[in-house]
Amino acid sequence: MSARGASAPLRFREARASFPSGVTIVAPADSEGRWWGFTATSFCSLSVEPPLVLAYPAERADCHRRGHQRLFVNRERPARTGPVPRDVPRPSAAGPTD
> Which pLDDT score, from 0 to 100, does residue 63 have?
64
57 within a domain of the structure (yes/no): yes
50 backbone dihedrals φ, ψ, rounded to 5° = -75, 160
CA atoms within 13 A on the CB side of 28: 19
16 within a domain of the structure (yes/no): no
Q: Confidence band (pLDDT; 50, 70, 90) for 98?
A: very low
Give the pLDDT confidence of 11-67 residue by residue, as tens digits: 888 877 777 777 777 777 777 777 777 777 777 778 777 777 777 777 776 666 655
Q: Confidence band (pLDDT; 50, 70, 90) for 95?
A: very low
55 within a domain of the structure (yes/no): yes
Quote the number of domains for the chain: 1
54 within a domain of the structure (yes/no): yes
* One-letter identity of residue 73: V
Q: Which residue has the higher pLDDT, 90 or 56?
A: 56
67 within a domain of the structure (yes/no): yes
pTM of the model: 0.41
38 within a domain of the structure (yes/no): yes
91 within a domain of the structure (yes/no): no
What's the whole-number mean pLDDT along residues 61-80? 56
Task: From 44, 40, 45, 85, select the one nearest 58 (Cα to Cα).
Answer: 40
8 within a domain of the structure (yes/no): no
